[in-house]
Amino acid sequence: MSTFRFNAVEKASNRKAIEAVIPKQKVSEYFGENVFNRKAMKKYLSKETFEILTQAIDTGTRLGRGIANHIAAGMKMWALEKGVTHYTHWFQPLTDGTAEKHDAFVEFDGNGGIIEEFSGKLLVQQEPDASSFPSGGLRNTFEARGYSAWDPSSPAFIVDDTLCIPTVFIAYTGEALDYKTPLIRSIEVLSEAAKEVCDYFSENVNKITCFLGWEQEYFLVDEDLYSARPDLSLTERTLLGHESAKNQQLDDHYFGAIPSRVQEFMKDLETECYRLGIPVKTRHNEVAPNQFELAPIFEECNLANDHNQLLMSVMKRVSRRHNFRVLLHEKPFMGVNGSGKHCNWSMGTDTGVNLFSPGKDSEDNLRFITFVVNTLMAVHRFNPLLKASIASASNAYRLGANEAPPAIISSFLGKEISEVLDRFENSSIEDAVKVDDKKRLALGFGQIPELLLDNTDRNRTSPFAFTGNRFEFRALGSSANCGSAMLALNSAVAYQLRQFKKDVEKLRLEGKSKEVAIFEILKAYIKESKPIRFDGNGYSDDWREEAERRGLDCENSVPLQYDAYLTPQVVEMFKETNVLNIKELKARNEVKWEIYIKKVQIEARVLGDLSLNHIIPVVIQYQSLLLDTIAKLKDTFEGEEYEDLSAEPRRLTRKIAQHICAVTRMVDEMIEARKKANRIADLRSKAIAYHDTVAPYLDEIRCHIDNLELMVDNQMWPLPKYRELLFIR
Ligand code: ADP
Ligand code: MG
């Protein structure tokens, strides 16, 4: 048995050590113990400071420098008691994942000793040497100043020996260099716009909160097998590997019990999450072998996104303790499902109403329809933008590539809601609007059925589905920062809600009643947004053609999908909502194109190396064994008998030789294509060149090598195969 196979079996999970980590207490007793939450604040801050801080968190008021000193002192005391020695500003640059630079609390005390120091200044703002984070040219390296600034709405937390302070990351000149900044801006503008529209229906709403409940899919692979695959180690996906005879065709993984080794990992992970205040709730096997999912209770959008970012790094860390590697890549394995990150999105009022829940009376129902229809309008008007917001080199292997689902953003509403909208659209104003004696609006077509509340009519293929009391944006990739999609969705819906208000007010100025104005505008919106409503099978071929006929965005090339950020309509929308200005949009696109280029470039390099230095040498060895055999057959047999007996080895040798030629030729061509693309200065054109002329080789080369995998002696094959990678022992 080769070493990697042997090690994988030998090193089962490190059970003893892990059991010690899992506490015996109830979750409620240790939930959030590593978070500077309200309980900790109350204990470590003065009453006055506590009140000012919680007020700022709840209402978004600014905190002065003086108060920051008090907060920092309390935070430090709390952290020191927990054995913390370092602190860091924790931010979300435009690359994958989060960034942190740790500093120790230590300072000289002036008497030759050391004290632990942490001031309000250090809490509030820092200037990390951020010259190597992508900025799309917003920051020249010679003035590599980027600031990280404290986000009090997301509580500080402790990881290992470090106090982590969630921060935004902005350029010296104020432009956003991260996901958090525009996400917060988009949440604020959505909240305001939704409140204004809510005022049509209810007078006592003061604040609207945007909620996000993500579902994180991931794969686990054995650490030793992972290490034996340079492609997994360097690109997080297998660039080679023939499908296993058994993969997901029996659907046995989805319904199956969680393997005990994985269950140990999950328990350990959940414990860490609870300590960090991440309210994880659901865990289960996913469709593909070795694929799993984790989902929390939904939270306020900015906090939920921080928790998702944090979860991803915790997962990576905890998996190592169990001799696993977690793969967050969207398509680690060909031929089985990829991983997404569903974002369940909704809005709620401070009076406890979910704006996407149909209510008890017809006024509530009209409010419900208003928010659903405006969301549909936003998804319709900003269809290419929403797709761009989830587009990445890695997510493209999941969407719109050879395997379903396609890269088209449509919306599934379910039978009940579709019928309600159809009836709304077709009813006359006299039928629909009857103002009762309380001067409230009555919808002539009756209530939305109660049934809706437990809407089980789910369409799993829809990228933007209504699921009873929320929308579920399912097109996101598993490795993505939800912020990218959420900020686009929030801004688009905010913009649309403002437009709705303008449209309604215009009709009112013409003398129409509020109810009639709302009714007429919604009717027009329902008509206009129809092209994105699709309740059929989103994975079918017919849908693609139909979507094109409907004028939906069907672009498959990621570099071109990013153009959607710079169309006049989108630039105007982001400007109007104050979420991103043109300078930021341009810079962010530069970053996106650059990341795309680098991802494809790395994959091409790794595949070239694997082909020429790992696979082909072994294939040639096997080929020479075959040639030896043929020569020996010739020595032993003669004439027709020789022809007969050597036919198979000769046929195999010929086939192998053809594959070797094809692979080496294409690796050379791929290198040439890269060289040519590298000479292009403009990042957009370069990304297009990488997409059009380099990336196609990845699939083609793979195809030949995967064929070789089936011909060459199993003992000689230098990489773990799919059947090993995909089935945990
Ligand atoms: P399913 O896979 O059937 O869609 P899950 O239980 O896996 O359901 O995930 C549902 C996700 O939706 C959870 O993260 C949950 O917290 C979230 N969620 C539920 N209600 C809302 C809501 N009103 N707003 C936002 N997210 C929600
Ligand atoms: Mg779901």
**pLDDT tens digits along 332-375:** 999 899 999 999 999 999 999 999 998 777 778 889 999 999 99
Ligand nearest 279 Cα, by number? 1
Could you identify the atom of ligand 1 that is nearest to the CA of residue 344?
26
* Distance (Å, whole) CA 362 – CA 446: 8
**pLDDT tens digits along 426-468:** 887 766 665 554 444 555 555 555 445 545 556 677 899 998 8
Could you identify the atom of ligand 1 that is nearest to the CA of residue 284?
7
Cβ–Cβ under 8 Å, residues 364 and 358: yes
Q: What topology does CATH give the domain 595-725?
A: Four Helix Bundle (Hemerythrin (Met), subunit A) (1.20.120)
Written as six digits, the tokens of 386 are 């929403």
Report helix, strand or coil for 165. Answer: strand
215 C-alpha to ligand 2 centroid (Å): 7
Cβ–Cβ under 8 Å, residues 225 and 4: yes
Written as six digits, the tokens of 416 are 């009940």
| Average pLDDT score over residue span 173-195 | 95
553 C-alpha to ligand 2 centroid (Å): 24
CA angle 94, 96, 97 (to 5 degrees): 105
Ligand nearest 344 Cα, by number? 1
What pLDDT band is residue 138 in, cutting at 50, 70 and 90? confident
Ligand nearest 482 Cα, by number? 1
**pLDDT tens digits along 521-536:** 999 999 999 999 998 8
Could you identify the atom of ligand 1 that is nearest to the CA of residue 298?
16
Between strands 162-171 and 86-91, the pairing is parallel
Residue 232's nearest CA partner among 335, 95, 333 is 333
What pLDDT band is residue 9 in, cutting at 50, 70 and 90? very low
Q: Is pLDDT of 77 > 90?
A: yes
Ligand nearest 209 Cα, by number? 1
Q: Going by CA atoms, what residue is nearest to atom 14 of ligand 1?
A: 213
- Among the residue ranges 158-172, 303-317, 451-465, 472-486, the one predicted with the least confidence is 451-465
Q: Going by CA atoms, what residue is nearest to atom 17 of ligand 1?
A: 213
Ligand 1, pocket-test mutation among 286, 298, 471, 490, most atoms within 8 A of CB: 298
Q: Going by CA atoms, what residue is nearest to atom 24 of ligand 1?
A: 346
Ligand nearest 340 Cα, by number? 2
Could you identify the atom of ligand 1 that is nearest to the CA of residue 346?
24
Q: What topology does CATH give the domain 187-580?
A: Creatine Kinase; Chain A, domain 2 (3.30.590)
- End-to-end CA distance of the chain: give it in Å, rounded: 16
Residue 341's nearest CA partner among 300, 381, 311 is 311
Ligand 1, pocket-test mutation among 211, 283, 344, most atoms within 8 A of CB: 344
586 C-alpha to ligand 2 centroid (Å): 33
Q: Going by CA atoms, what residue is nearest to atom 5 of ligand 1?
A: 295
Q: Going by CA atoms, what residue is nearest to atom 11 of ligand 1?
A: 213
Cβ–Cβ under 8 Å, residues 154 and 306: yes
Ligand nearest 342 Cα, by number? 2
| Average pLDDT score over residue span 21-35 | 89
Ligand 1, pocket-test mutation among 187, 210, 212, 215, most atoms within 8 A of CB: 215
Residue with tokens 């942190």: 100
457 C-alpha to ligand 1 centroid (Å): 15
**pLDDT tens digits along 396-418:** 999 866 555 678 999 999 888 88
Q: Can you give the three-state secondary structure of 519-533, one letter per residue?
A: HHHHHHHHHHCHHHE
CA-to-CA dists, residue 722 to 243, 281, 324, 656, 717, angstroms:
6, 31, 16, 21, 12
What pLDDT band is residue 392 in, cutting at 50, 70 and 90? very high
According to DSSP, the residues that pair with 472 across neighbouring strands are 344, 465
Residue 169's nearest CA partner among 125, 104, 226, 220 is 125
Residue 7's nearest CA partner among 262, 268, 218, 226 is 226
Could you identify the atom of ligand 1 that is nearest to the CA of residue 345?
25
Could you identify the atom of ligand 1 that is nearest to the CA of residue 354?
23
pLDDT at residue 8 in the model: 44
Residue 669's nearest CA partner among 644, 688, 651, 695 is 695
Q: Going by CA atoms, what residue is nearest to atom 13 of ligand 1?
A: 213
* Distance (Å, whole) CA 382 – CA 494: 12
- The superfamily CATH assigns to domain 25-177 is Glutamine synthetase, N-terminal domain (3.10.20.70)
Cis peptide before 405 (omega within 30 of 0): yes
298 C-alpha to ligand 1 centroid (Å): 7
214 C-alpha to ligand 2 centroid (Å): 8
What pLDDT band is residue 258 in, cutting at 50, 70 and 90? confident
Written as six digits, the tokens of 145 are 């100043």
73 C-alpha to ligand 2 centroid (Å): 42
Written as six digits, the tokens of 397 are 């292997």
Range list for CATH 1.20.120.1560 in the chain: 595-725
pLDDT at residue 537 in the model: 82
328 C-alpha to ligand 1 centroid (Å): 20
Mean pLDDT of the chain: 90
Written as six digits, the tokens of 247 are 């993969």
Residue-wise DSSP of 374-442: HHHHHHHHTHHHHHHHH--TTGGGTSSSSSSSPS---EE--HHHHHHHHHHHHS-HHHHEEE-TTS-EE
Range list for CATH 3.10.20.70 in the chain: 25-177
pLDDT at residue 530 in the model: 95
542 C-alpha to ligand 2 centroid (Å): 25
CA-to-CA dists, residue 659 to 170, 653, 704, 718, angstroms:
51, 10, 6, 17
pLDDT at residue 536 in the model: 84
Could you identify the atom of ligand 1 that is nearest to the CA of residue 467?
4
Q: Tell me, what amino acid is at 9?
A: V
Written as six digits, the tokens of 127 are 């200037």
Which one has a higher pLDDT value, 172 or 368?
A: 368
What pLDDT band is residue 1 in, cutting at 50, 70 and 90? very low
In sequence order, which residues have a C-beta less than 8 Å from that of residue 58 and are 6 or more positions away? none
Ligand nearest 294 Cα, by number? 1
Cβ–Cβ under 8 Å, residues 266 and 295: no
Report helix, strand or coil for 644. Answer: helix
573 C-alpha to ligand 1 centroid (Å): 29
459 C-alpha to ligand 2 centroid (Å): 10
* Distance (Å, whole) CA 226 – CA 704: 22
Cβ–Cβ under 8 Å, residues 469 and 346: yes
**pLDDT tens digits along 323-344:** 999 999 999 999 899 999 999 9
CA angle 370, 374, 376 (to 5 degrees): 120
453 CB burial (10 A radius; 0-12, 13-18, 19+): exposed
Range list for CATH 3.30.590.10 in the chain: 187-580
* Distance (Å, whole) CA 646 – CA 627: 10
575 C-alpha to ligand 2 centroid (Å): 32
* Distance (Å, whole) CA 678 – CA 672: 10
Residues with CB under 6 A from ligand 1: 211, 213, 215, 282, 295-298, 344-346, 354, 469-470
533 C-alpha to ligand 1 centroid (Å): 22
In sequence order, which residues have a C-beta less than 8 Å from that of residue 224 and are 6 or more positions away? 4, 7, 8, 11, 323
- The helix (run of H) or strand (run of E) holding residue 673 is helix 639-678
Could you identify the atom of ligand 1 that is nearest to the CA of residue 357?
23
Which one has a higher pLDDT value, 458 or 490?
A: 490
CA dihedral 49, 53, 56, 57 (to 10 degrees): -160
91 C-alpha to ligand 2 centroid (Å): 27
**Residue 25 Ramachandran class (φ > 0 left, ψ -120 to 50 alpha, else beta):** beta
- The helix (run of H) or strand (run of E) holding residue 214 is strand 208-222
Q: How many CA atoms lie within 13 A of 446 on its CB side?
A: 8
CA dihedral 484, 529, 493, 410 (to 10 degrees): -30
* Distance (Å, whole) CA 655 – CA 644: 18
pLDDT at residue 245 in the model: 81
Could you identify the atom of ligand 1 that is nearest to the CA of residue 212?
25
Residue 191's nearest CA partner among 208, 205, 203 is 208
Q: Going by CA atoms, what residue is nearest to atom 2 of ligand 1?
A: 215
Ligand nearest 298 Cα, by number? 1
Please tell me the total number of residues recorded for the chain in this structure.
729
What pLDDT band is residue 484 in, cutting at 50, 70 and 90? very high
What pLDDT band is residue 520 in, cutting at 50, 70 and 90? very high
- Among the residue ranges 30-44, 440-454, 680-694, 715-729, the one predicted with the least confidence is 440-454
Written as six digits, the tokens of 477 are 């990739």
| Average pLDDT score over residue span 66-94 | 94
- Among the residue ranges 69-73, 485-489, 542-546, 564-568, the one predicted with the least confidence is 542-546
213 C-alpha to ligand 1 centroid (Å): 5
CA-to-CA dists, residue 171 to 135, 423, 694, angstroms:
8, 51, 34
pTM of the model: 0.94
* Distance (Å, whole) CA 27 – CA 270: 10
- Among the residue ranges 254-268, 503-517, 610-624, the one predicted with the least confidence is 254-268
Could you identify the atom of ligand 1 that is nearest to the CA of residue 297?
16
* Helix pair 362-381, 514-528: axis angle to 10 deg: 40
Q: How far does CA 672 lie from the centroid of its chain?
A: 33
* φ and ψ of 615, to 5 deg: -85, -55
Cβ–Cβ under 8 Å, residues 152 and 56: yes
Between strands 106-108 and 114-116, the pairing is antiparallel
Report helix, strand or coil for 316. Answer: helix
* φ and ψ of 209, to 5 deg: -115, 140
